Amino acid sequence: MKATDAYTDHFTFLDGDPKKVTNLDRSVTVGINPPDRVFFAGRAIDPTHLPTRLRPMGRRKKMGDLIGSLTGTLCSEKVKAIIETYEPGVHAFYPIMFEWKNGVQDPGHYIWIIQNEIKGLHSKLIDPPYTGPNDYWDGGDIIQYPNGKVVFSKEKVGNAHAWSDPQLSRAKYVSDELANAFFEAEVSGFAPGRHVDVV
């Protein structure tokens, strides 16, 4: 498994209001509060206030296949098709339009909402020690724990290919199979992090 991210870009929202978007499920799974990272919680959202038109900032004229933003991960039609091949019907994809000041439009992207929340840590093999299923675990912080060991449990992860882990600050993870599919398809903007063993 790989921690995953995308190269980040910045946008002006031409409609909608990301601050008003909420998760349909606001239950508490870790800590004492509901998720505050709505777009990365691994849960379905209420799209009522979701932006549908974004204006890229800067001089970029062509958008990558994967893009990080304040509204979560943006993905191209190519990425959507790959994900749907591995996990059909699991995640949500909301169409967006990129609109530049000169009137040029690019409709070929989506806001990808990962709809799979998994507490995947292996309670016996990680270091520093596991403190319980309702606690955040920061052993993946290589600055604080340079010798820390992150291991996922195959029993917990199962056959998932993309998920958010609430105990790891809702970091996003993809399976090796999905990561390799991104590489084979030459998905631009894909920025995989450290590899995590699944036992």
CA distances from 191 to 45, 83, 86, 174, 184 (A): 25, 16, 19, 11, 14
Classified as helix, coil or strand, 199 is: coil
pTM of the model: 0.91
Name which residue leads in pLDDT, 193 or 17: 17
Q: In angstroms, rounded to a whole number, what is the distance separating the alpha carbons of residues 43 and 110?
A: 17
Contact 52, 97 (CB under 8 A): yes
The answer to whether residue 49 scores a pLDDT higher than 60 is yes
The total of structural domains in the chain comes to: 1
Task: Name the pLDDT band for 193 (thresholds 50, 70, 90).
Answer: confident
Between vectors from CA 37 to CA 66 and to CA 8, what angle results, nearest 5°? 30
Rg (CA), the chain: 17
The pLDDT value given to residue 5: 55
pLDDT tens-digit readout, 134-158: 999 998 888 898 888 999 999 999 9
Which residue range(s) make up the domain with 182?
Answer: 1-199
Spatial CB neighbours of 84, under 8 Å, sequence gap ≥ 6:
none
pLDDT tens-digit readout, 75-93: 999 999 999 999 999 999 9
| CB neighbour burial string for 26-62, b if at least 16 within 10 angstroms, e if fewer | eeebbeeeebeebbbbbbebeeeebbebbebeeeeee
Beta strand pairing call for 92-99 and 151-152: unpaired
